[in-house]
Chain A
């Protein structure tokens, strides 16, 4: 028996499969069982509605303006917030990369990410409220006469998405920009390029592919906004986001088939945007920018 199994072992080992490789199996099986399988199960379940044909859930969703409207309401939040966060991250990262005490700033910025959207929403309810510090300060400086309404509407959710989203995009952008070899910019500076054109012709082309990935991650995150849209927004009206509609279908109507269908629609919109952005990313240079050690 051992003689017959030995040559087989050797060929497997030659292909890189041995005892150590098998250590990957438990984790891989776990992800297949609890991530891939539920996704496929949800997809199939979404085609087996409580009533109607196999497309029943989807026709129900797309014939009800209160439901399909959630796609637009969510996009209206997620797209501007993501673009704003990236537009803010790039100039800030360009300045911060030369800073000596970077760590203090990055530690403060990692706070809102760690605390999570529920806590940020609870904090903003007080802070942005009519008697909150923000409105008080604006009145004190004479910028406004009476408190402006920033909670329980679109802007409350928008601000909460900036507070949790900006640090995320900023930290990604910073790690990307710090990875660019300073010699590239020094060479351009020696040739007489000013900061503006150094950024336009050297840094920007190098970070565009990374920014595309950052955009995808941040957009997908913002598109699935849930707690802050409920706590800080108007979940029955202008911030009725798609994830809230899905959770309602699951936990208020106990229609898991419909809820899965909404989750699948959510995934399609997310992947659609990610695919679009990544297709555009292919047009740019994506090689190493580190220089030396690569």
Chain B
């Protein structure tokens, strides 16, 4: 039932999709191959393969320290955003109160305004109170988008739980605290895992806020990667790419686990659904 024109159109669209995907995968592949290659100047593939760039990257960039800092920061951000965000999401999912739309807008704004725009005034304030340059400064800055992100992401998960379950627990005398520990948290495990894992991915790959607030000892991997490319020429490109591969692994692990709980479209669509 299709005309030739419609078939041509469909072929064109799919050709574009394939072209795009091939380019993305090839771009990632260049980084990985380069990090294992000895010399790669004017050929399709490096002359030979080696592991030494990983050893040199580990030493040159103090990757052990950087990785430790990255996961300390990400761990703290994830934990705190769950502790602050989940109760707020519960209140927003279960109660209607005057000014609720305003509160929702308050939580949407940090997700809609790009980090670099609010990051500069935020960094200024953090420098004034002496937090910037420390690990806590980076943690606080990264919490600004992740707390609202957790709130917005958790609301639909909480709405799915039948309020009768909670009512039953209340009838048997559970207060809000015990209700959370014994009823809600066990039921919300998939949602909380999804939210925390995505907050983890966001924090590990958050360049702007960390860049604006980090000092030399509180850099995360992505900022260290930026500085090493910025000051390229001093170091071999391959060891920068070795660092890039380690960075990729450190984000992708969490993404792969997170994708077991959420659909890829949801990662970006949640925010928009709330915004519309």
Contacts and interface: CB of A to CB of B under 8 A. Distances in A.
A122 B120 contact: no
A97 B107 CA distance: 31
Contacts of B271: 217
Contacts of A119: 31, 205, 222, 225, 244, 247-248
Interface in B14-41: 14, 16-17, 20-21, 23-28, 30-31, 34, 41
Interface string B163-189: 000000000000010000000000000
B207 A227 contact: yes
Residue from B14, B121, B127 having most chain A Cβ neighbours under 10 A: B121
Contacts of B109: 31, 35
A45 to B, nearest CB: 7
A185 interface: no
A220 interface: yes
Interface string B83-95: 0110110111011
A107 B259 contact: yes
A127 B26 CA distance: 8
A224 B107 contact: no
A131 to B, nearest CB: 5
A53 B205 CA distance: 40
A39 B13 contact: no
A106 interface: yes
B23 A113 contact: no
A27 B229 contact: no
A123 B207 contact: no
Contact of B264 (A26, A171, A195): A171
A266 B117 contact: yes
B191 interface: no
Interface in B200-251: 201, 205-208, 211-212, 222, 225-226, 229-230, 237, 240-241, 244, 247-248, 251
Interface residues on A, range: 35 or more
Residue from B9, B120, B205, B206 having most chain A Cβ neighbours under 10 A: B120
Contacts of B266: 175
A214 B84 CA distance: 29
A52 B147 CA distance: 39
B222 A163 contact: no
B91 A105 contact: no
B95 A18 contact: yes
A116 B117 contact: no
A42 interface: yes
18 contacts: A15-B98, A16-B96, A22-B91, A24-B88, A28-B107, A38-B121, A106-B265, A107-B264, A111-B28, A115-B248, A126-B237, A163-B24, A172-B268, A226-B207, A227-B208, A243-B116, A247-B212, A266-B117
Contacts of A262: 120
Q: Is the interface of A mostly helix, strand, loop or mixed?
A: helix
A108 B6 contact: no
B205 A20 contact: no
Nearest to A267: B117
A114 B97 contact: no
Interface string B125-147: 10100000000000011011001
A141 interface: no
Interface of B: 2-3, 6, 9-10, 13-14, 16-17, 20-21, 23-28, 30-31, 34, 41-42, 44, 84-85, 87-88, 90-92, 94-98, 103, 106-107, 109-110, 112-118, 120-125, 127, 140-141, 143-144, 147-148, 151, 176, 201, 205-208, 211-212, 222, 225-226, 229-230, 237, 240-241, 244, 247-248, 251-252, 255, 259, 263-269, 271-273, 275-276
Residue from A27, A175, A220, A221 having most chain B Cβ neighbours under 10 A: A27
Contacts of A286: 276
Contacts of A73: none
Contacts of A256: 124, 127
B106 A23 contact: no
A267 B120 CA distance: 11
Contacts of A131: 41-42
Contact of A103 (B107, B140, B241, B263): B263
Nearest to B145: A35
Contact of B244 (A17, A25, A122): A122
A136 B30 CA distance: 13
Interface string A131-174: 11110100000000000000000000000000100101001101
A183 to B, nearest CB: 19
Given A23-B90, A115-B205, A105 B252 contact: no
A1 interface: no
A86 interface: no
Contact of A220 (B30, B113, B268): B113
